[in-house]
Every structure is written in structure tokens, then in C-alpha cells.
Amino acid sequence: MKRRSFVKKTFQWLAGLGLLTGLYSWQIEPFWMQFVYIKMPLKNLPDDLIGKTVMQISDVHIGNSFDYQYIIDSFKEAQELNPDFVVYTGDYVTYEDDEQISQLQEVLKFVVKGALGTIGILGNHDYGIDFVEDDVARNITKSLEDVGVTMLRNDAVEINGLNFLGMDDFWGSNFYPKKATAKYNPEKANIALCHNPDVCDLPVWNNFKGWILSGHTHGGQVKPPFLPALILPVKNKNYDAGIKDLKDGRTLYINSALGCLRQVRFNVRPEITVFLLAKEV
Ligand SMILES: [Fe+2]
């Protein structure tokens, strides 16, 4: 093969590969949801909750940036797993105007509910434009409550001996995490819900021990193989995705999101997490 022809063929091959990668990242991976199964050992877990499941759904981002029929389809698949608890960790919409409230309500007709309880917290995008619109946060909260989701805004709820602490969002205007952690009960099994994992580094935890479920980062959405994600909206860049042992009795889990902010994903598949409850000895 002549050198010029070799260079031309290589160029064509690379261009083809680039096109395929682009198509994959735009049309396939953003809609290629996976269930991620994780064992969750908890201190003081009541015996009758051993083996029950806590399903985490995060960052569905209903709006106009991708076809949210995918979220409805994912909800239907999730419902088939009959979760015992379902927790939603914020960013229900990508807010532009009040159209997203009605779009969310349309999707919530298919809301995934837990047999024992369904709990939610807000994320920054649930606070509208620039994350400062309290009336948007109230409308989204009401939309979820109307379909039976217990919304925790710096509060806690105990269900069958499992204590859920739920913080409002770090970047929103109602961030009073100590109100939630004041309800930490070391005699109970505890799970904290906290949209933005950076909160783990703030002195607001009241000596909390247990699991913290977060979202927010979407795992960066694009992650070159063997390299860190390119864009992470957190100060602590260690908080990308997955399990993080915080080495002080807290275990953080960062969900990679079911939806996306822009319709692109590479090497960070969307997920719904299913935690299997176990007793920590
Ligand atoms: Fe998000």
C-alpha cells in the first residue's frame, strides 16, 4: 500500500470511529439504563427488614433536553422489581418554565413506589432558574406529595424501624441540614438522603454513622476510559460516582443518575440502584 493511501484509509477509519462514538454517546448510552445491585449493611436493622430492598432513583431531569418517555419506560421496569422502599434523591426537572411541572406530573403517573415507603428530597434543579425559585421548589414538592411520595425538607421519617434523614439541597435556599441530622438516632438503623455529595465534607452531621445516598454528579456523564470524568459539579473531585468509604463510620453512595442534563453519555451508564438491606454486626 502506498503511504498516501495508507494515511487516507487511516483517516477514514478514525473519522468513522468518531462518528460511531458520537452516535453511541448521543443515541444509545443516555437511554441504556442499568440496575446496579449493592449490599447495604446497617447497624440496628430490624430483623424483619433483612433482605428487603431500598431502590434509589436520582436526577430524572424531566424537561425538553431528552425524550422523557425513556424515564417512564424505566419506571415501568423498576416497578416490576417490587422494591420495598424507594428513595428519590432530587433533580426531578431541568427547569425552563412551568411546562416542566406539568411534564413532571405526566411522568409521575408512573411513579415507582415502595411497598413499605417512598421518600424524596429536592436537588438544585428543583429550585428553578439559578436555583433560587422557592415557588418552583414548592410546586415540585407538592407534585410528588400528591402521588404519595413523603418529601423530606430537612426532616426525617421512620418507617418500620428504618430512619430516613432527608436534607434540602446545598445550592438551594432552604439548606438547613442540621435540622435533619438532629433527628439522627444512633439506636436505630439510619439512611441519609443528600443530593449533593459535597455536603459530606461540611460539619453538619451530628456524629452520623450509616449510609448517605447522593446524586447530583451524574458520574460526570462522560468519562474517558482509565481517566477521571471531565466535568464534575462538586468541589471534592473524589465524589464522582459509586461507593465512597468516608472512614468515619459513614458510607457515601453517589448514583450516576437516570436522566441527563444534556443528551450525551460515554462510559457512565444511567442507573437505578437497588440496595439489599443486611444487618451490620
Ligand atoms: Fe442532576
Is residue 233 very low, low, confident or very high in pLDDT (cuts 50, 70, 90)?
A: very high
Would you give the end-to-end CA distance of the chain in angstroms? 67
CB atoms closer than 10 angstroms to residue 68: 22
Residues recorded for the chain: 281
Ligand 1 centre distance from Cα of residue 209 (Å): 25
Ligand 1 centre distance from Cα of residue 216 (Å): 4
Helices (H) then strands (E): counts for the chain? 5, 12
Ligand 1 centre distance from Cα of residue 98 (Å): 18
**CA pair distance 133, 70, nearest whole angstrom:** 27
Ligand 1 centre distance from Cα of residue 277 (Å): 26
Ligand 1 centre distance from Cα of residue 195 (Å): 9
Domains of the chain as residue ranges with CATH: 32-279 (3.60.21)
Ligand 1 centre distance from Cα of residue 107 (Å): 17
Ligand 1 centre distance from Cα of residue 68 (Å): 15
**CA pair distance 100, 103, nearest whole angstrom:** 5
**CA pair distance 281, 79, nearest whole angstrom:** 31
CB atoms closer than 10 angstroms to residue 33: 18
How is residue 255 written as a grid cell?
448514583
Ligand 1 centre distance from Cα of residue 91 (Å): 5
Query: At residue 1, does pLDDT exceed 80?
Result: no
Ligand 1 centre distance from Cα of residue 162 (Å): 26
Assess contact for 62 and 107: CB atoms under 8 A. yes
User: pLDDT tens digits, residue range 109-157?
Assistant: 999 999 999 999 999 999 999 999 999 999 999 999 999 999 999 999 9
Ligand 1 centre distance from Cα of residue 256 (Å): 9
User: pLDDT tens digits, residue range 258-270?
Assistant: 999 999 999 999 9
Query: At residue 219, does pLDDT exceed 70?
Result: yes
Ligand 1 centre distance from Cα of residue 158 (Å): 26
